[in-house]
Chains A and B, each alone.
Chain A
């Protein structure tokens, strides 16, 4: 596996350079905004990547919380399965579909909800025991980095387009800032609390923090906001050539995020190894 990392790093670097070239040079210029719209190719893929990482953190935290008791774990498995089945069917039932806000596609809702059991069972299978906690901290930290990019590039884009850096009280902007603050608190808790309950407390905080992700995503449908409609699965529209470049950039950012998560995961494993060694050392040093 160690040999695969440099190969993947080179491939990801090539993909990022190619995606950057497509974003800055090849993609057509926007008729209204001019070239400044090209910030979309960094802002939106970073937001999607941050949401995905917070989602992984949520699933890993739920798995970590329910793993101790077999009956709770069984119940959680059934709930995850039920969410997937209901989420797959419900958006297409006419009564439910009519309730969806204009522009929200049932297929987009169904796909998103089905990802919950898919990720739930995949993460539970591939990350047993303490590995869940390592995955949770890894995804939260890398997610905060991508969310920081969103919060920095958003105002830089807003200034020339809206005429303001920040729209105070705007639900999309405020909920994204709150999301960032929740996960920064989560990382602070993990960094500075050394209680035996820290991992459980952090997992519980992550579960509540994740509730803000759908609020951020759906806020533009349910509230009046300065932020434009989403370009995929929503009411916004985008030139197919721009969409292609956007998806290419997301793929490049996903590969990059995967490599960063891999490094962070190994770092966390090394950190725990050092802590164990230090604990053993101090035990050996205690006079019998």
Chain B
């Protein structure tokens, strides 16, 4: 059965989903750290 393209598609889909999720974690983490820094600066003023 010549269906290797489906294997590649599944492989790419798996890692694309994980990469997108890890990307969202990195983005959320950066936003929260920025917010925390802003809060610290405003409390020092």
A-B residue pair count with CB separations less than 8 angstroms: 86
Q: Does A104 contact B (CB under 8 A)?
A: no
Minimum C-beta distance from A149 to chain B (A): 5
Contacts of A278 in B (CB 8 A): 35, 39
Contacts of B1 in A (CB 8 A): 33-34, 36, 160
Known interface pairs A145-B17, A149-B13, A281-B43; A270-B36 also in contact (CB < 8 Å): yes
Asked if B29 and A267 sit within 8 Å, CB to CB, the answer is yes
Contacts of B7 in A (CB 8 A): 24, 35-36, 38-39
Asked if B39 and A145 sit within 8 Å, CB to CB, the answer is no
Q: Tell me the A41-93 residues at the B interface (CB within 8 Å).
A: 42-43, 46
Minimum C-beta distance from A280 to chain B (A): 8
Please, which residue of chain A has its CB at the minimum distance from the CB of B9?
Answer: A156
Contacts of A153 in B (CB 8 A): 10, 13-14
Minimum C-beta distance from A33 to chain B (A): 6
Contacts of A157 in B (CB 8 A): 6, 10
Interface size classification for chain A: 20 to 34
Interface residue from B4, B10, B25 paired with A43 (Cβ < 8 Å): B10
- CA gap between A278 and B40 in the complex, in Å: 10
Q: Does A205 contact B (CB under 8 A)?
A: no
Contacts of B3 in A (CB 8 A): 33-36, 160-161
Minimum C-beta distance from B15 to chain A (A): 9
Interface residue from B11, B17, B29 paired with A148 (Cβ < 8 Å): B17
Contacts of A149 in B (CB 8 A): 13-14, 17-18
Interface residue from B13, B39, B42 paired with A274 (Cβ < 8 Å): B39
Contacts of B25 in A (CB 8 A): 260, 263-264, 267
The residue in B14, B17, B18, B29 that gathers the most chain A C-beta atoms within 10 A of its C-beta is B14
Known interface pairs A33-B1, A148-B17; A274-B10 also in contact (CB < 8 Å): no
Q: Does A152 contact B (CB under 8 A)?
A: yes
Minimum C-beta distance from A245 to chain B (A): 14
Asked if B32 and A274 sit within 8 Å, CB to CB, the answer is yes
Interface residue from B11, B32, B35, B40 paired with A267 (Cβ < 8 Å): B32
- CA gap between A281 and B45 in the complex, in Å: 12
Asked if B10 and A39 sit within 8 Å, CB to CB, the answer is yes
Asked if A156 and B21 sit within 8 Å, CB to CB, the answer is no
Minimum C-beta distance from B32 to chain A (A): 5
Asked if A36 and B4 sit within 8 Å, CB to CB, the answer is yes
Contacts of A46 in B (CB 8 A): 14
Asked if A24 and B39 sit within 8 Å, CB to CB, the answer is no
Contacts of A256 in B (CB 8 A): 18
B residues with a Cβ closer than 8 A to A are 1-4, 6-7, 9-11, 13-14, 17-18, 21-22, 25, 28-29, 32-33, 35-36, 39-40, 42-43
